[in-house]
Amino acid sequence: MATDNHRPEPNRTLELLWGVQQPPSRGPKPALSLRQIVDTAIAVADAEGVGAVSMRRVADELGFTTMSLYRYVPSKTDLLELMVEHASEVPDVPPELSGWRDKLRWWATDTAQIYQRRRWALDVPLNAPPMGPNQIKRMEQALAALDETGLSGGEMVGILVVLSGYVRGHAQLATTLADVESRTGASQQAWDTAYGRMLTEFVDPERHPTLARIVAEGGFENGQDEDEWLDEDFGFGLELVLDGIARYVERRQGSMSPE
């Protein structure tokens, strides 16, 4: 059967993600492994961002030619997906946690920590639904936490979208603010002054009364203490989301037929 390689094949991607591949028996022993490739790629991304990850770079790091990688990975896109999958190992939910709220709080915080450690993960373009084992495990955890509420599957998924949206959104914002320098090549300070200039010079208090007032109150000074990452801000929004969920659950349970 002709291999007809390299037009994207979801099934191949899927199999790579789940690591199902009986090693072929006829050829020479591979000197490399998917694992190695993905790990080096992750190392590069950790150190210099996902922009530094090129096929050439990864291959060089391993001491092989660029093209050798293509014996293990169908395309760079797949490599990126594999990176994300492998970069987010999922610990088990601490067993001492009980109640959906505590579990979800843990879940959200842990997810946020991943984004914090692997900031580049947010830069990987999201082209297909997440299908990797870790992604799925994470999904299962959140759904399992919600299971005790007795909500329907659809409702639980809806809630999950909200929660993970918040986590991702917060992370996105935090990284953007924290990493302007490495991302743009201009100094942190240059951005700060530009932003300040925008607020004072261009924000017309007529058109933007609320914003102007907040600025005047100094509400934009809190700025970027280095690792303000998993700080109050994150907790603030998180509890707010959890409150929303709680209210929904309450209302829903009130109107549910007893089992």
What the block records as the tokens of 130 is: 């997440």
Establish if 23 lies at the interface with a second copy (CB under 8 A).
no
- By CB under 7 A, what part of segment 52-81 binds DNA? 52-57, 64-68, 70-72, 75-77
57 binds, among DNA, a second copy, none (CB under 5 to 8 A by kind): DNA
As a whole number of angstroms, the distance between CA 89 and CA 134 comes to 6
Q: Within a 10 A sphere around the Cβ of 56, how many other Cβ atoms?
A: 12
Binding letters toward DNA, positions 188-227, x by CB under 7 A: ----------------------------------------
DSSP-derived secondary structure for 87-153? H---PPPPTT--SHHHHHHHHHHHHHHHHHHTGGGGGS---S---SHHHHHHHHHHHHHHHTTT--H
Q: Report what 32 binds from a second copy, DNA, none; CB cut-off 5-8 Å by kind.
A: DNA
Of 26 and 207, CB closest to a second copy: 207
Degrees (nearest 5) of the Cα angle 149, 153, 154? 115
Q: Which of 176, 227, 231, 253 binds a second copy (CB under 8 A)?
A: 176
Nearer to DNA, 74 or 244 (CB): 74
Of 24-32, 93-101, 108-116, 211-219, the window that binds a second copy (rule: CB under 8 A) is 211-219
